Structure 1
């Protein structure tokens, strides 16, 4: 390419030469020409017209495909200064950075596209999310996923799953929960096993209101969690009060909870010495027509008497005997005992 400065005199011919070299498969010669253009700042010369897309796109595609995305970006940034916004070039640069394991640079390209109003592709975002995950940066992957949704793209169920799994494995349970929320809001009903893990972790860590909010969202979107599985895990983990709150939530909404789960929660409360809360939830269970273990109820009545809660013991005895059906007002009063 030593003859370049002698052969090309008209600036318009720069683009023609680059296009001709690429069409002839002489990409390395085109790169040498590009190096000289970049070094001399020829592309920024106001007297030099902007290159045509047929000249720069083959160059950018070649560079991005051969591990030289940074050089391709240097070229395109000079072109952008002359007002060029080329979607194909942007996407090639983005893919190049992502494939070379530089997701931060790829994300920067997407931000530039968004600011300039250049349409983005869903697969670009998916590639970016995967690139962050490969680098072990689940928080950044989640940010990219959020950006993908904000731009009107729907992540695939496997992509949602990959981000949730990575965040969960990194101990970021509440962040994984927020991704789960986005997934449910978008009507994605796959990955329910991962949803169950996140809900269980939230409840076990004491984030009860957040977990119940997610469950309510699921129900609004025609999806149901495994109440029995969650209650079993909470009882096994010694989280009696959390289990109580979940049962209370389920009873208020007439959710499908097995009788054995009710018994497990009552046993857990009794074992933990939470007699009044046990009485409260038992009254609600009976008011809803639920069936519980009679011996356990008798033991609960005995404990109430021993602790001086004779009024509650009497109410519970009458309910179990079918003599005093709970009225709505009384039910609320009994349930008002603190957890």
Structure 2
């Protein structure tokens, strides 16, 4: 009999000619070969018509319609050929090689269209995995969405779920539509728990958070009720959590009330989620109300409940309630997972003026085995100092120093300048500079070089009569290039000068005068005009210690810089000191050489002192200079005598 009822098999040959592939994979070839091999088919099973219609409808229409001469049939698309090949042959390596031979390169459009046109979900899944596994194509968000949609319709939900959860590993980001299409598939299949799990996964950090997610979940929830699928506590908790995350507390509370109305008892997760939501919108009182309700129903708050409520209480400045909750945590030995809450509790109690409660927070940390850090002690010490409770601040400081808490490498909260500077100042002003220095040396090991603290230590040691210790601090400042205050230098210099001439202080005093001289030079060069009385004291000390040339150099620098100092007082002091009149004479020559003038009474006193000490020649030169004599000669002789005097 003739195949398909045709009188002439020639149309098949012409149809074969118009196919885009000459491969043996063509279903037409297979149909022909099948027809040739079946010489005696059973009459009740006409194979050819049904096969041709079901597998390739275009073949039947082409075979029955004669193609006009001069016109060509449109070539079949690649994706259609691949789909037909997958439909007619088992998924084997041979078929895969045939597809690779047919398509040298796979692009997004081709892969997507093959998935879309696949005859069944199994073909689509095999093709999806094959092109990815062999490196022919890297799937993106669209192809993932397509295969999840196909598998969802075919109820192959485990495959779809695995593909969805593996997306981040491939570097493809999730979005809400991917979750929603799978959630809906689980819902249609009546698998409620898996839908809830997916919704919870969708709410994790990093997942999309907007109203669209929650509204979709709500529609799914209503669909559950319409299908008479009873939601449980997990379902309600999931919905409540979703509305709390988008800060729609009225909707969350509606489900919370509905949950109770269905005789579904809220658990600790239900209450904690609601409390967290209320705290996020600033309704801390409602959170406290639910906490009391929990206790009434015998539901014990957990660590998340307390950790959720405490920050809200601190923000709302409800520190009394926060203290009560912290006490409960200590009694139950429940430590929060986030230790940053303790710094907020200490700061909040200090701000409220309850220093006892603030100190109790530190004790609670110790009882809960939470590591205390320098920052915790620092806030307490700072606020004890502000409140004038220095004795309690010193006790805390003793523990801080003794346990070397500042030096712990695991510290995340360091002691701030606002904490250690008032403490150091108090200690330095109350005869405890040594303890202040111990504290600051620990801070220096952490890289602190605070100029205020340095200067307070110098002042403290100077006031306590230990200028050597102050000088050691000063040397550290110079070495680290930390700026110093003139007042600290002044106290240190005065402290050294008060010590007089003891042998054990002589070397240090000389070094100090030299250092003071260098500082004075720096001050003058920078145009600093403050504390010029200190400059006079330095000059006096230089002359008295025999550093005449250095003193004269500083005087010349002062005159060049236009800095006026009290030379008359300096001359008077030198005239009063035995053997220092020639130094005074040298100073005066310098002043007059530069065109400077001084008080006539000081000049007369100097001339008188020179004559009394037998320096009549210098007295005569000075007299002639005053009377308008040869200033040049006087100046030259003055220089000569100055060198002789030195």
The reply to whether TM is greater than 0.5 is yes
**Is residue 174 from structure 1 mapped to residue 541 from structure 2 by the alignment?**
no
Given that 1:164 and 1:179 are in contact with CA atoms closer than 8 Å, whether structure 2 keeps it comes out as yes
Structure 2 residue aligned with 1:55: 419
**Is residue 253 from structure 1 mapped to residue 631 from structure 2 by the alignment?**
yes
Q: With the length of structure 2 as denominator, give the TM-score of the two structures.
A: 0.33
Structure 1 residue aligned with 2:380: 20
Q: With the length of structure 1 as denominator, give the TM-score of the two structures.
A: 0.58
Given that 2:533 and 2:565 are in contact with CA atoms closer than 8 Å, whether structure 1 keeps it comes out as no
Query: 1 CA distance for matches of 2:530 and 2:550?
Result: 14
Structure 2 residue aligned with 1:146: 517
Pick the structure with greater CA Rg: 2
Superimposed CA distance per residue, residues 180-221 of structure 1 (whole angstroms, 9 cap, x where no aligned partner): 65356323342414325537979x67968x944761345316
Higher relative contact order (CA 8 A, sep 6+): 1
Superimposed CA distance per residue, residues 27-54 of structure 1 (whole angstroms, 9 cap, x where no aligned partner): 3233223223322333222223442223
SS in 2 for 1:48: coil
Structure 2 residue aligned with 1:299: none
Task: Decide whether aligned partners of structure 1 residues 212 and 86 sit closer, same or farther in structure 2, where only a CA change above 3 A counts.
Answer: closer
Task: Decide whether aligned partners of structure 1 residues 221 and 6 sit closer, same or farther in structure 2, where only a CA change above 3 A counts.
Answer: farther
Structure 2 residue aligned with 1:222: 596
**Is residue 83 from structure 1 mapped to residue 447 from structure 2 by the alignment?**
yes
Task: Decide whether aligned partners of structure 1 residues 13 and 240 sit closer, same or farther in structure 2, where only a CA change above 3 A counts.
Answer: closer
Structure 1 residue aligned with 2:568: 192
Query: 2 CA distance for matches of 1:200 and 1:69?
Result: 38
Q: Equivalent residues in 2 for 1:301-316 (5 A)?
A: none
Given that 1:163 and 1:176 are in contact with CA atoms closer than 8 Å, whether structure 2 keeps it comes out as no
Given that 1:64 and 1:95 are in contact with CA atoms closer than 8 Å, whether structure 2 keeps it comes out as yes
Mean alpha-carbon deviation: is it higher for 185-194 or for 103-112? 185-194
Query: 2 CA distance for matches of 1:156 and 1:218?
Result: 25
Task: Decide whether aligned partners of structure 1 residues 233 and 134 sit closer, same or farther in structure 2, where only a CA change above 3 A counts.
Answer: closer
Task: Decide whether aligned partners of structure 1 residues 95 and 173 sit closer, same or farther in structure 2, where only a CA change above 3 A counts.
Answer: closer
Query: 2 CA distance for matches of 1:205 and 1:107?
Result: 29
Task: Decide whether aligned partners of structure 1 residues 79 and 242 sit closer, same or farther in structure 2, where only a CA change above 3 A counts.
Answer: same
Given that 2:428 and 2:457 are in contact with CA atoms closer than 8 Å, whether structure 1 keeps it comes out as yes
Query: 2 CA distance for matches of 1:177 and 1:157?
Result: 20
Q: Give the root-mean-square deviation of aligned CA atoms.
A: 4.1
The aligned length equals 252
Structure 2 residue aligned with 1:111: 475
**Is residue 93 from structure 1 mapped to residue 465 from structure 2 by the alignment?**
no
Given that 2:436 and 2:457 are in contact with CA atoms closer than 8 Å, whether structure 1 keeps it comes out as yes
Given that 2:451 and 2:482 are in contact with CA atoms closer than 8 Å, whether structure 1 keeps it comes out as yes
Q: Equivalent residues in 2 for 1:123-142 (5 A)?
A: 123-136=487-500, 139=510, 142=513
Query: 1 CA distance for matches of 2:514 and 2:435?
Result: 27
Given that 1:19 and 1:56 are in contact with CA atoms closer than 8 Å, whether structure 2 keeps it comes out as no
Unpaired stretches in structure 2, ≥5 consecutive residues: 1-358, 502-508, 638-646
Displacement, 1:79?
A: 0.9
Given that 1:231 and 1:243 are in contact with CA atoms closer than 8 Å, whether structure 2 keeps it comes out as yes
Given that 2:377 and 2:415 are in contact with CA atoms closer than 8 Å, whether structure 1 keeps it comes out as no
Query: 2 CA distance for matches of 1:233 and 1:122?
Result: 35
**Is residue 158 from structure 1 mapped to residue 530 from structure 2 by the alignment?**
no
Structure 2 residue aligned with 1:234: 610
Displacement, 1:82?
A: 1.0
SS in 1 for 2:375: helix
Mean alpha-carbon deviation: is it higher for 58-67 or for 130-139? 130-139
Task: Decide whether aligned partners of structure 1 residues 37 and 225 sit closer, same or farther in structure 2, where only a CA change above 3 A counts.
Answer: same
Displacement, 1:77?
A: 0.6
